[in-house]
Amino acid sequence: QYELERSALYALKHKFNDPFLNDNWTGLQCYENMAFWYGIQCINGRVTAILLEGRGLSGTVSADAFVVLSELVTLSFKNNSLSGNIMDFSSNLKLKDIVLSKNMFDGPIPRSLLSLNFLESLQLQENHLTGTIPEFNQSSLTAFNVSNNNISGPIPGTHTLKSFSAASFSNNGPNMCDSSNSGTCYYSENDTAGDSRKKYVLTIFLVFDIIGLVTVILLLILYCKKSRQLKKLIERYRLEEKDDDLELEEGSNSYKESKYESNIHAEEKRLSNANEEKGNLIFMEDEAGFDLNDLLRASAEGLGKGLFGNTFKAKMEGRPTVVVKRLRDLKPLSNEEFTKLIQIIADQKHPNLLPLLAYYYSKDEKLFVYRYAKNGNIFNRLHGGRGTRDRIPFRWSSRLSVARGVAGALEYLHLNPNASHCPVPHGNLKLSNILLDENDKVLVSDYGLTSLIALPIAAQRIVSFKSPEYQNSKRVSRKSDVWSYGCLLLELLTGRLSAHSAPPGINGVDLCSWVHRAVREEWTAEIFDMEISVQRSAAPGMLKLLQIAIRCCDKVPEKRPEMTEIVREIDNIKAVESDDEEELSADQSLTDESYSTNASSVMVVGGGRSRLKQ
Ligand SMILES: Nc1ncnc2c1ncn2[C@@H]1O[C@H](COP(=O)(O)OP(=O)(O)OP(=O)(O)O)[C@@H](O)[C@H]1O
């Protein structure tokens, strides 16, 4: 759907051919609730508003331009020079505001607008519209204006249309409003379509009423009959039970014992359930700086819906801001099993791992609490705001520090003695799980969570399960983390969306295959993201990191390097500090030739068959 929406917006851009939009409407249009394009608003990655007012746009917008934008709530092209017929909105059932005033639209007002049950405002004034007004009768419609067109009357006498003043209809064709007396408009005497619809609805209600009444009477009769039968049965059962008790007292007492035992079990179960129902906030660090009451009083803001559940930012007065992850789709785990797995996660301590502050366990609710990473995630840093003036370039030294931080954290997870209990040390390594704190320190989150989730769900959504070995042998291992790390490096180097970690609804590229092809076909200069390829002196480092990434992506897990080896190699890559103007000027961007003067070694890829020219 994301791609379809993007194509629809691209078609609009093409139609408008406006230099500003041509420049600005590139890259991702939305990510979750963030919009990256001018005049667009998004919720959950879907376009909810298009606001392009007074931009001097011209041309004819095709009738089906908005068909795929089914989440659209607001559309405004006010004060442009758009022409042609008004578009078909019959697929945009969530539309509330349509503002097309002060344009050059002609033709009739489409009847498809009658199907918009949430429509609140329709502004079509100052166009060249003709025909008559459809019978708008939506109770939601509170603002309506078709003045200054060539529409003919009379106005349909619906309740909704009668509620608007003459100003909404003035300056139109014949039989609409009296131009000498602006207070008088002509309404059709009887709203025949409305009346017959009303009659039809009333008949249907009457039929349903009768059917309902008959059903209730029948059910009552049936209930009386059944309850009499039930009473008889209970009486009979009581008599039989008395007889049984007498028999057992006379014989052995085994029945009584087993009854007592089962009572104990029931009580134990009830107590443990009650305990689980109540729940507790358990702190993994001594100095968390807040308690359960603070958390319950906190103001919450949704950060997104992830694989493990919804994530919220909780602000507490005078306390550190935290992030609460509400877990869902977990394996059926008892309190004890859950606690054991949490302890393994909490035991992982590394400067580049986001520590688990606390957790909450009850029968119906399982929460994880983390410290809030102020500077957001690397996915947004890398892909967000491209093509806009707000975009701050994400340069080589910052990308290298992300690669270093993540490698260090992964090495720690892989070597940790507790790792033997964890089948997949991280399992879900992707850019949205790499965070930056207020000092831009890299923090890897969501490690170890895969051990809590049910396998069928993990197999569908978790990054490690998209590795070649899972496709071939249905197994994942630490080497699957290395593969995910390779994909992550390629995303950092190319600035392209990776298919393995792209959010739902967004199509990414299979970067491992893409880069292999680029290297084979020797268009290496196009591999690197423009924001870093302009940093000429960083070229040797970029090429080294690319080489590491390609080795990590090897289809055969055993051929992939260990994280320790990777950390050592990355430590030898130099970050370039000088970001001087000359170096960054776009016309000096790297070509294959400039790579060849910068680098000194020959990179051998895929068992020595293809070479990356340097
Ligand atoms: N501690 C945190 N500080 C700041 N932002 C966070 C924190 N934890 C998560 N986020 C952000 O909140 C959003 C939702 O996170 P969540 O982990 O639920 O989903 P995800 O990372 O998109 O997917 P997945 O569940 O597969 O990891 C993401 O943008 C994530 O980067």
The upper half-sphere exposure of residue 526, i.e. CA atoms within 13 Å in the direction of its Cβ, equals 10
User: How much distance in Å is there from the Cα of 509 to the middle of ligand 1?
Assistant: 22
Q: Which of 33, 377, 453 to mutate to test the pocket of ligand 1 (most atoms within 8 A of CB)?
A: 377
Distance CA 492, CA 545 (A): 10
In the predicted structure, residue 6 carries a pLDDT above the cut 90:
no
Of all residues in the chain, what percent are helix, strand and coil, respectively (each to 5)? Answer: 45, 15, 40
Specify the residue with its C-alpha closest to ligand 1, atom 8.
323
Which helix (H) or strand (E) segment holds residue 570: the answer is helix 563-571
Atom number in ligand 1 closest to CA 309: 18
Atom number in ligand 1 closest to CA 463: 26
Specify the residue with its C-alpha closest to ligand 1, atom 14.
304
**Amino acid of residue 527:** I
In the predicted structure, residue 296 carries a pLDDT above the cut 70:
yes
Bridge-based pairing state of the strands 58-60 and 81-85: parallel
User: How much distance in Å is there from the Cα of 310 to the middle of ligand 1?
Assistant: 9
Which helix (H) or strand (E) segment holds residue 443: the answer is strand 442-444
- 3-class DSSP state for residue 536? helix
User: How much distance in Å is there from the Cα of 47 to the middle of ligand 1?
Assistant: 21
User: How much distance in Å is there from the Cα of 370 to the middle of ligand 1?
Assistant: 11
Please tell me which of 106-120, 374-388, 458-472 the model is most confident about, judged by mean pLDDT.
106-120
Of 343, 379, 347, the C-alpha closest to 361 is 343
User: How much distance in Å is there from the Cα of 446 to the middle of ligand 1?
Assistant: 8
- CA angle at residue 110 from 117 to 137, to 5 degrees? 35
251 vs 518, residue with greater confidence: 518
In the predicted structure, residue 565 carries a pLDDT above the cut 50:
yes
User: What pLDDT score was predicted for residue 99?
Assistant: 95
φ/ψ (deg, to 5) at 185: -125, 155
301: which strand partners? 313
Q: What sections of 69-189 are H helices per DSSP?
A: 159-162
Of 51-55, 66-70, 289-293, 317-321, give the lowest mean pLDDT range. Answer: 289-293
Q: What is the DSSP string of 457-517?
A: HHHHH-GGGGSHHHHHHS---HHHHHHHHHHHHHHHHH-PPBTTTPPTT---B-HHHHHHH
3-state secondary structure 314-340: EECCCCCCEEEEEECCECCCCHHHHHH
User: How much distance in Å is there from the Cα of 481 to the middle of ligand 1?
Assistant: 19
Quote the ipTM score. Answer: 0.97
Atom number in ligand 1 closest to CA 445: 8
Output Rg (C-alpha) for the chain, integer angstroms: 33
Specify the residue with its C-alpha closest to ligand 1, atom 4.
373
User: How much distance in Å is there from the Cα of 452 to the middle of ligand 1?
Assistant: 17
Of 482, 517, 488, 481, the C-alpha closest to 502 is 488
User: How much distance in Å is there from the Cα of 304 to the middle of ligand 1?
Assistant: 7
The answer to whether 331 is a known ligand-binding residue is: no
Of 489, 379, 482, the C-alpha closest to 431 is 379
- The dihedral built from the CA positions of residue 450, 455, 461 and 464, taken in this order, carries a sign that is positive
Distance CA 15, CA 374 (A): 40
Of 490-499, 521-530, 576-585, give the lowest mean pLDDT range. Answer: 576-585
Atom number in ligand 1 closest to CA 305: 18
Q: Which of 303, 371, 488 to mutate to test the pocket of ligand 1 (most atoms within 8 A of CB)?
A: 303
User: What pLDDT score was predicted for residue 269?
Assistant: 44
Tell me: the pLDDT tens digits for 415-470? 876 545 554 578 899 999 999 999 999 999 998 888 788 777 777 778 877 888 88
User: What pLDDT score was predicted for residue 123?
Assistant: 95
Tell me: the pLDDT tens digits for 189-200? 654 455 556 667
- Once rounded to an integer, what is the mean pLDDT over residues 374-396? 90
Specify the residue with its C-alpha closest to ligand 1, atom 20.
306
Tell me: the pLDDT tens digits for 573-610? 987 655 544 454 443 333 333 343 333 332 333 333 23
Q: What is the pTM of this model?
A: 0.57
- Once rounded to an integer, what is the mean pLDDT over residues 77-85? 94
Distance CA 486, CA 132 (A): 63
Atom number in ligand 1 closest to CA 304: 14
Specify the residue with its C-alpha closest to ligand 1, atom 18.
306
Of 359, 137, 446, 457, the C-alpha closest to 122 is 137
Bridge-based pairing state of the strands 356-361 and 280-283: antiparallel
8 A C-beta contact, residue 149 and residue 165: no
- Lining residues, ligand 1, CB within 6 Å: 303-304, 306-308, 311, 323, 325, 354, 370, 372-373, 377, 428, 432-433, 435, 445-446
Q: Which of 31, 34, 311 to mutate to test the pocket of ligand 1 (most atoms within 8 A of CB)?
A: 311
User: How much distance in Å is there from the Cα of 350 to the middle of ligand 1?
Assistant: 19
Mean pLDDT value across the chain: 80
Contacts of residue 602, defined as CB under 8 A and 6 or more positions apart, other chains included, come to 611, 612, 614
**Amino acid of residue 536:** R
551 vs 236, residue with greater confidence: 551
